[in-house]
């Protein structure tokens, strides 16, 4: 049983009150939500980039200039610490709580920056994976997505079975445009939201970090769930300074009491 300190308990109660009153709550989730599944964050305490520095961000240039060489490098490179952690991960109580909020009709949509597929495995369906999904490939011509495991890598680069276009892994690289469908849906949801929930994100990468601010500018309240201060903290109406795996189940428990 996790003991929750009084100030966090009050913030959880305030967050539940706002969610209770909302008709179209939208969440933005980040790597911190998956931290309790054993997947390292990028930034913040213990983040992989905090520890080892940011990687070179030329993947998109390499892919765009020579897709075949990019695929050969990706296949030869093998699994990183990050990939191994994702392969071993399971949805945690925070993912499950967000799927429950959706099920209860308290969460209209989740925009996730995470590529780990854990929201889907936890049961979330109203979901936009704005930075892609590591288990998918995406056609650079028509945008069609296929499961990576179904694509033959005998010939590189692999080609789209719909249009013959070149396939790339679905993960959005730095410098790569966010896929149109994901961007359109994210702006639509942010524009329709009457409450925004920021969970486990440092909110420093755009356009994702703009969605909570867009909602805020339209007068929607903002809830932040994060054990550390972020770029959004000064704009938040309610700050739950706790891990998502503690805060979100406690919010669900309060809301479930009225059902």
Which of residues 18, 22, 44, 59 is near ligand APR by CB under 6 A?
A: 44
Cis peptide before 45, with omega less than 30 degrees from 0?
Answer: no
| Interface size with ligand APR, residues (CB under 6 A) | 25
Residue 113 binds ligand APR (CB under 6 A): yes
Nearest alpha-carbon partner for 128 in 199, 65, 207, 181? 181
Distance CA 222, CA 21 (A): 13
Residue 226-245 contact track with ligand APR, rule CB under 6 A, x = bound: xxx-x------------xxx
Q: In what order do the strands lie in the sheet with 109-112?
A: 127-129, 109-112, 25-29, 195-199, 222-225, 238-240
3-class state of residue 147 by DSSP = strand
First and final CA of the chain: distance in angstroms?
A: 23
Residue 31 binds ligand APR (CB under 6 A): yes
Residue 189 · residue 109 · CB < 8 Å: yes
The catalytic residue among 95, 109, 119, 131 is 131
Residue 169 binds ligand APR (CB under 6 A): no
Residue 189 binds ligand APR (CB under 6 A): no
Question: Is residue 231 packed enough to be buried (19+ CB in 10 Å), middle (13-18) or exposed (0-12)?
Answer: middle
Distance CA 244, CA 97 (A): 9
CB of 44 to ligand APR, least distance (A): 3
Annotated catalytic residue 131: yes
Residue 11 binds ligand APR (CB under 6 A): no
Residue 201 binds ligand APR (CB under 6 A): yes
CB of 146 to ligand APR, least distance (A): 22
Residue 212 binds ligand APR (CB under 6 A): no
Residue 127-166 contact track with ligand APR, rule CB under 6 A, x = bound: ----x-----------------------------------
Residue 120 · residue 102 · CB < 8 Å: no
CB of 159 to ligand APR, least distance (A): 26
Token pair for 152: 């033959």
Residue 205 binds ligand APR (CB under 6 A): yes
Distance CA 255, CA 100 (A): 10
CB atoms within 10 A of CB 49: 13
Helix (H) or strand (E) holding 136: strand 136-139
Residue 28 binds ligand APR (CB under 6 A): no
Residue 225 · residue 247 · CB < 8 Å: yes
Which of residues 11, 18, 26, 35 is near ligand APR by CB under 6 A?
A: 35
Which of residues 18, 30, 93, 106 is near ligand APR by CB under 6 A?
A: 30
> Closer CB to ligand APR, residue 85 or residue 205?
205
3-class state of residue 193 by DSSP = coil
Binding site for ligand APR (CB under 6 A): 30-33, 35-36, 41-44, 47, 113, 131, 200-202, 205, 225-228, 230, 243-245
Active site residues: 131
């Amino acid at each position: 049983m996790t003991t929750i300190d009084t100030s966090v308990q009050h913030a959880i109660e305030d967050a539940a009150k706002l969610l209770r009153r909302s008709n179209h709550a939208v969440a933005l989730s980040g790597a911190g939500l998956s931290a309790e599944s054993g997947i390292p964050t990028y930034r913040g305490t213990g983040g992989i980039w905090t520890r080892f520095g940011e990687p070179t961000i030329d993947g998109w240039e390499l892919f765009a200039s020579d897709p075949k060489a990019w695929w050969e490098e990706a296949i030869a490179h093998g699994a990183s610490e990050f990939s191994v952690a994702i392969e071993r991960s399971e949805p945690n109580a925070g993912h499950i709580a967000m799927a429950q909020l959706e099920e209860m009709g308290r969460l209209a949509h989740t925009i996730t920056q995470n590529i780990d597929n854990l929201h889907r495995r936890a049961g979330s369906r109203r979901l936009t994976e704005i930075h892609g999904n590591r288990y998918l490939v995406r056609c650079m011509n028509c945008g069609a997505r296929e499961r990576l495991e179904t694509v033959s890598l005998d010939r590189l680069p692999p080609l789209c079975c719909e249009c013959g276009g070149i396939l790339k892994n679905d993960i959005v690289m730095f410098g790569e445009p966010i896929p149109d469908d994901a961007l359109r849906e994210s702006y639509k949801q942010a524009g329709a939201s009457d409450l925004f929930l920021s969970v486990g994100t440092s909110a420093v990468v755009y356009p994702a970090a703009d969605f909570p601010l867009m909602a805020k500018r339209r007068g929607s309240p903002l809830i932040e769930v994060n054990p550390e201060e972020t770029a959004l903290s000064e704009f938040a109406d309610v700050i739950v300074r706790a891990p998502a795996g503690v805060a979100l189940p406690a919010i669900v428990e309060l809301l479930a009491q009225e059902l």
